[in-house]
Structure 1
């Protein structure tokens, strides 16, 4: 009974807060009654059409929204397009999953963390790359993805031209470039790498050639970026209040088990 009242209170707060924000700010359109709409890019296992509830971050988002009596629709775009639509299109509440940076603080109301990154260097075993710090990458061409943030220090070094980065549209493209020796090293989240290499798009021989090295990039949190509007701020605050009622680490472990992946 107490839990039912708590859920009812959460739903009432969400609707009241959004209604008040709409009265005070620009109009906000839901995708359909009691449904919010977000933009994102395929980035399995964190976000993907083929996975239950659109991947880990999709499942975490839905669990929180469920406390408020809402569901969610995820629309997929290339990363830069997803960011633009999530931030500018009033039909969307925002986009995910996004890493928190000082620059993005100006654009987003960030939700509570929904997952964490684990970036690793990826290279060919017959040409291993070892780096004790980012400065060790200065003599190498590094495969990156357009619009991705790897760490504040790495991003700054690329912007200054200290690190020579070759930009691609996604991680899969970079892995294919690595396999044909387009460059000696790329950077991929460990879970994303494992997921991609397990697909039929890569052969057992491809997988055997790939090596990794960790410890160079700090773990960073992934979030739902709510639009930086009065409505977005109210939604973010309501979302975070609902998230506190859930054991998110437990939900993450349960999701990995659900898809047969230990995370």
Structure 2
């Protein structure tokens, strides 16, 4: 091999090494987050991908990191956190014991309300304790958590529920009289009514009950690994530097 050929190979190897280092640095500076279409909080078609995405993006920026969202059906997003892969976090999550046991969850950086919708052909359903809802089958979304009390009652079989892939399908079931009740965030309820023409046509068959199930902090959850713990801690530090207004 001539000296010129050897020098050319060395230059190519050096260039390749520098390119790999650059790609590695770029990947290290990006956090891939699994999420879902959940307007008006977050969505691929919303301005800035929605207020939650904007807020978490700003927090990551304070950490010197870039946020990259991948919008998935929620069950697939949850599986992405259970399986080996590039996703380092999932959001938005409710701040429940169930999620805290499975993942490293941040401090809340937003807040949401959980309520019930009912079919208007039924007399208004009035309840004080969640156990008062025992006679009714309640629509839930597959993979969603709610409040600790509500989920414990579901797990114990003290409340009946029927799972669906989405809030939209649950609303359609309630409107069609196939379910008496479904759990939903009021803001999500109003957004879906506005966005979906077929649901809007059936809106008169749905009533949002005034008494909420509860209120939940919205968090981002990281893989339960040493890297996930470090990201969670750094996220919380950046969050405390500019804490959100959760009123």
Range into which the TM-score falls when normalised by the shorter chain: 0.7 to 0.9
Task: Tell me by how many angstroms 1:237 deviates.
Answer: 1.0
Name 1:176's counterpart in structure 2: 172
Distance 1:30 1:53, change over 3 A: farther
Name 1:191's counterpart in structure 2: 187
Task: Tell me by how many angstroms 1:88 deviates.
Answer: 3.2
Distance in 2 (alpha carbons) for counterparts of 1:31 and 1:213: 48
Give deviations 1:75-130, integer Å, cap 9, x for gaps: 12221221121343341211111112223222211112122121111013332322
Name 2:50's counterpart in structure 1: 55
Q: Secondary structure at the match of 1:53?
A: helix
Equivalences for 1:1-263 in 2 at 5 Å? Answer: 32=27, 34-127=29-122, 128-202=124-198, 204-249=200-245
Q: 8 Å contact 2:105–2:221 — kept in the other structure?
A: yes
Q: Secondary structure at the match of 1:118?
A: strand
Q: Secondary structure at the match of 2:27?
A: coil
Distance in 2 (alpha carbons) for counterparts of 1:30 and 1:172: 40
- Structure 2 stretches lacking a partner, 5+ long: 1-23
Task: Tell me by how many angstroms 1:203 deviates.
Answer: 5.2
Give deviations 1:202-257, integer Å, cap 9, x for gaps: 454422332111334121111110111111111111111111222422xx89xxxx
Q: 8 Å contact 1:87–1:94 — kept in the other structure?
A: no
Q: 8 Å contact 1:65–1:71 — kept in the other structure?
A: yes
So what's the TM-score if we normalise by structure 1? 0.78
Task: Tell me by how many angstroms 1:69 deviates.
Answer: 2.6
Name 2:16's counterpart in structure 1: none
Give deviations 1:28-85, integer Å, cap 9, x for gaps: x887352210111211122211112322221111010121232211112221221121
Number of residues paired by the alignment? Answer: 223
Distance in 2 (alpha carbons) for counterparts of 1:190 and 1:31: 39
Distance in 2 (alpha carbons) for counterparts of 1:116 and 1:39: 19
Q: Secondary structure at the match of 2:107?
A: coil
Distance in 2 (alpha carbons) for counterparts of 1:36 and 1:98: 17
Q: 8 Å contact 2:134–2:158 — kept in the other structure?
A: yes
Q: Which has the larger radius of gyration?
A: 2
Distance 1:102 1:247, change over 3 A: closer
So what's the TM-score if we normalise by structure 2? 0.82
Distance 1:158 1:30, change over 3 A: farther
Moved more, 84-93 or 200-209: 200-209
